[in-house]
Amino acid sequence: LESNLLTQPWTSVCFDESTFVAKACFRDTGYILLISDLSSVWYESADVEVVGQRSKELNKRLMVHVSSFLHRLRNLMCPLLAGRPDTATSFSCHRAADGLSLHVKSELSGLPFYWDFHCCPAPVEMVSRHLVRPLIRMSLALQYQVQELTSLLLQKDAEIKDYRESGAALSRDRLRTEPFQEGMFQENFMAEVRSGAG
């Protein structure tokens, strides 16, 4: 389950006016949910036995196979993570010192359907594997991309300067651009980042 979870993208979700990022993987053998408010990271991994026991506690009137519960949970969570939550389903969360619980209220076979995800703090290795390492890899890739684009812009400016010195003129003045100033660009970019973070 966790290896499959690695391939799932992080998505932004809102519960009770609080914003989180989350990812999940559901299979016939159980599920794993990873959720973070970017200060803490919580997870729950539940197998068929856990799902069967909890479903009996929360849904005494529903007599369906565990696979049906897992299928229903997948059908409720996947649209939420895709940004298209089911309007007939409500989600609420509660944070405690020992973790985070996510409460789901919906319907199954015409009867009320309830589910609680009991998430505990994720171990450091899991946080590193799913959050820290991918973010660092992406950051390094973006830095390399910026360096490549900066180099390309400076080459283009040198090419344009050569054209101008050879007597070439623009046919449309609105296309004129100022030479790229790498230092100024970096300063402006960092100022925007700081104002956005604040």
What is the tally of structural domains in the chain? 2
Residues 65, 151, single domain; the answer is no
Residues 104, 143, single domain; the answer is no
Residues 154, 80, single domain; the answer is no
- Domain with residue 66: its CATH number is 2.170.210.10
Residues 84, 144, single domain; the answer is no
Residues 134, 113, single domain; the answer is no
Query: How would residue 197 be classed by pLDDT, with cut points 50, 70 and 90?
Result: low
Query: How would residue 171 be classed by pLDDT, with cut points 50, 70 and 90?
Result: confident
**Among the three residues 106, 122, 138, which one is the final residue of a domain in this structure?**
122
Rounded percentage of the chain residues whose pLDDT exceeds 70: 98
Which pLDDT tens digit goes with each residue over 175-193? 888 888 888 888 888 888 7
pLDDT at 105: 93
Q: Residues near 29 by Cβ (< 8 Å), separated by ≥ 6?
A: 1, 47, 48
Beta strands in the chain (DSSP E): 11-15, 18-27, 30-36, 41-47, 90-96, 99-108, 111-121
Which pLDDT tens digit goes with each residue over 54-94? 988 998 887 878 888 898 899 989 888 888 877 888 999 99
Query: How would residue 101 be classed by pLDDT, with cut points 50, 70 and 90?
Result: very high
Mean pLDDT of 131-145: 91
Residues 100, 5, single domain; the answer is yes
In three-state form (DSSP H/G/I as H, E/B as E, the rest C), the secondary structure along 140-186 is HHHHHHHHHHHHHHHHHHHHHHHHHHCCCCCCCHHHCCCCCCHHHHH
- Domain with residue 158: its CATH number is 1.10.287.450
Tell me which residue range forms the domain holding 113: 1-122
pLDDT at 198: 55
Residues 139, 57, single domain; the answer is no
Query: How would residue 129 be classed by pLDDT, with cut points 50, 70 and 90?
Result: very high
**Among the three residues 99, 122, 145, which one is the final residue of a domain in this structure?**
122
Query: ∠ CA 162-164-168 to the nearest 5 degrees?
Result: 115
Residues 95, 155, single domain; the answer is no
